[in-house]
Amino acid sequence: MLFKKIYQRRCCFISNNKKPILKLISPIPPSVNHYLAPRPFIMTKNGKKVPMVTMYETTEAKKYKKEFIKYVKEEIRKQKWDINCTKDKHFYFDTIFHFDRVDKDEQNYYKCLCDALNGLAYIDDRNILTRCFKIDYDSINPRIEITIHPVDYIGIFNNENELNKFKNTYCDNCTRGTKNNCSIFKNAIEGKVGKLYEILDIKDMRCNKFKQRKS
């Protein structure tokens, strides 16, 4: 069943006790100001010339991406990283910045870095949660240390233990049951909180629609 497949995909990392992890080191990429540049051009529309602007990738960005992607492909092979594990679950993108100067803002350096890894280390960057844990300064070897690994939470549940407790207490003993593709549990593991306010007591993890199954 579709519900069962979704549940298994979202829990597989913790259940197998084999959390996927990818560690990378990147040189400092081009900042957002040096990643894309405007290129003006004239477009004819309805017989009139209209000034337009398109954005293009700078030479600096292309060079960075080419060299970094080559390195990442090799690391993916060495670390046996499977991009498909990022398909249905959020992943942390943890970073430590070692800048060469003190006047740099780490927020300006994620765009080019994450774009280079999109489709290579993860399927879709909408599932990637960037976090900076530390910034220090190393003028000799400026770099970014990156660790990509899955989050512990599953939908509205903080971890698999909390999910299993809810499932064992309610779903396994309810007339709805998970085998009937219960929409409540499905929305819960997909994190669709807006559909659960009147159904679940999220604070206490209690299902208000629970109906005891007859033994």
pLDDT digits (tens, 9 = 90+) for 70-117: 999 999 999 999 999 999 899 999 999 999 999 999 999 999 999 999
CA neighbor of 183 nearest in space, from 195, 170, 201: 195
Q: Are strands 200-201 and 206-207 parallel, antiparallel or unpaired?
A: antiparallel
Of 100-109, 162-171, 176-185, the one with minimum mean pLDDT is: 176-185
Angstrom CA distances, 195 to 10, 122, 155, 169, 181, stand at 19, 28, 13, 21, 16
In CATH, the architecture of 18-150 is 2-Layer Sandwich (3.30)
The percentage of the chain sitting over the pLDDT mark of 70, rounded to a whole number, equals 89
Distance CA 75, CA 25 (A): 10
Q: Taking CA 109 as the corner, what is the angle to CA 103 and CA 113, rounded to the nearest 5 degrees?
A: 155
pTM of the model: 0.79
- CATH 3.30.1330.70 placement within the chain: 18-150
Percentage of the chain surpassing pLDDT 90?
54
Least confident of 36-50, 141-155, 173-187: 173-187
Task: List, in sequence order, every beta strand (DSSP E) within 58-118.
Answer: 91-99
